[in-house]
Amino acid sequence: MATAAPQDQWRLLDVAGSDTKLAQLAHRGRTLPEHAEVERLAQRLARLGDDLVAARMRAGDVARELAKAEADVEVVRQRVARDRARLDSGQGSAKDLQATQHELESLAQRQSVLEDAELEVMEQLEAVQSAVTALEAERERLAAEHADVAARRDAALAAVEEEATQVRRARNDAAAGLPADLIGLYEKIRTSTGSTGAARLHARRCEGCRIEINAAVMGSLRAAAEDAVLRCEDCGRILVRTADSGL
């Protein structure tokens, strides 16, 4: 059985307390509500970005459609202007002038249809452009909210890390000067338990696993030498005896 001075074993409780606090701080850092909020906003920004790309593409398509409609109207207007000039000049035979008049009437109808189509496309473009503007404003608002939440998360993480740095310093102070075999055993147990390597024996109960020690085992613990390094039979931690251990 390993041995170590009682005062060195007591210092293991300070080391274990620091390890418990560090685990709590790590958990706090991992579970900050800002993590989920940052992720939620990032996902919304990504979806909004996709919607904005689609809206801009739609706006481009409608803008090209409007340009074609305007070109079609302009062609008809030019033909109307040409025919009207010919008609106003009075040049040509009566038959030619009559044909030109009929063509002007047909062109007027055609121009009316094309201008109605042009107006409809213009309204579509206005609606799409309004949607793009609204999406851009929403993206800007979300980006600002995302940046704010990320800043709060980073500040919270910095505070956690600052506290953890102080706890690590206290742990190092508690572990300084402990026998190498004792701290080595502690670290080995800590690795295997994923928690701490030592626990107080309090009122016949291991404070590591919270299991009460039966009378037979308590008898053997009571008989152990003062410098004996005791172990919990259930969790394997080093059992540190104090005045309230129940021995």
| Average model confidence (pLDDT) across the chain | 93
Q: What is the pLDDT of residue 96?
A: 72
DSSP helix, strand, coil percent of the chain (3-state; round to 5): 75, 5, 20
Q: What is the pLDDT of residue 189?
A: 96
Mean pLDDT (whole number) for 29-48: 97
Count of beta carbons in the 10 Å neighbourhood of residue 193: 15
Decide which of 204 and 88 is more confident: 204
Asked if pLDDT for residue 90 goes beyond 90, the answer is: no
Secondary structure (DSSP) of 95-122:
HHHHHHHHHHHHHHHHHHHHHHHHHHHH
Asked if pLDDT for residue 1 goes beyond 80, the answer is: no
All structural domains of the chain:
6-26+179-241 (no CATH), 32-174 (1.10.287.1700)
Helix, strand or coil for residue 239?
A: strand
Amino acid at 195: S
Quickly tell me which residue has 């008898």 as its tokens.
219
Distance CA 247, CA 242 (A): 9
pLDDT in tens, 183-202: 999 999 999 988 999 999 99
Alpha carbon separation from 240 to 28, 152, 247 (Å, rounded): 28, 41, 12
Asked if pLDDT for residue 154 goes beyond 80, the answer is: yes
pLDDT in tens, 200-245: 999 999 999 999 999 999 999 999 999 999 999 999 999 999 988 8
Q: What is the pLDDT of residue 89?
A: 80
Q: What is the pLDDT of residue 95?
A: 80
Of 35, 45, 33, nearest to 142 by C-alpha is 45
C-alpha torsion sign, points 213, 219, 220, 223: positive
Of 203, 188, 202, nearest to 236 by C-alpha is 188
Q: How confident is the model at residue 8 (pLDDT cuts 50, 70, 90)?
A: very high
pLDDT in tens, 94-136: 787 788 788 888 888 999 999 999 999 999 999 999 999 999 9
